[in-house]
Amino acid sequence: DAKTTQPTSMDCAEGRAANLPCNHSTISGNEYVYWYRQIHSQGPQYIIHGLKNNETNEMASLIITEDRKSSTLILPHATLRDTAVYYCIVRDTGTASKLTFGTGTRLQVTL
């Protein structure tokens, strides 16, 4: 599986956009980029995923560079409830489709 690199922590003011970067320079052509988040003491929550094109849903937007070596998760209007650890994962597309979690980015949203 391709590995990912994320900053350890980030801060964001409530109401502002939170931009969380992720590097995945060894990604292969058929591997998807997934984002999950984990609020303290809960199971990870799926946010969004993409292959090549930018994606948007009700939670966030995912911007993937043209060479696919990096991506950015954007929370357009961060709230205090978005405080969590955010994981960027490049997913194995084999039968088992395992997720390999790194240490993620701890996002702290402040007033």
Partner 1 sequence: SQTIHQWPATLVQPVGSPLSLECTVEGTSNPNLYWYRQAAGRGLQLLFYSVGIGQISSEVPQNLSASRPQDRQFILSSKKLLLSDSGFYLCAWRRRPGNGRDTQYFGPGTRLTVL
Write out the residues near partner 1 by the rule CB under 8 A.
30-32, 34, 41-46, 49, 51, 87, 91, 93, 95-104
CB 22, min distance to partner 1, A: 14
Angle at 55 between CA 94 and CA 5, to 5 degrees: 60
Cα–Cα distance between 92 and 3 in angstroms, integer? 11
The rounded distance, in Å, linking the Cα atoms of 69 and 79 is 29
Q: Closer to partner 1 at the Cβ: 96 or 111?
A: 96
Q: Which of residues 82 and 86 has its CB atom nearest to partner 1 in the complex? A: 86
Q: How far is the CB of 79 from partner 1 (least distance, A)?
A: 22
**Which is nearer to partner 1, 33 or 109 (by Cβ)?**
33
Instruction: Compute the least distance from the CB of residue 55 to partner 1, in Å.
Output: 11
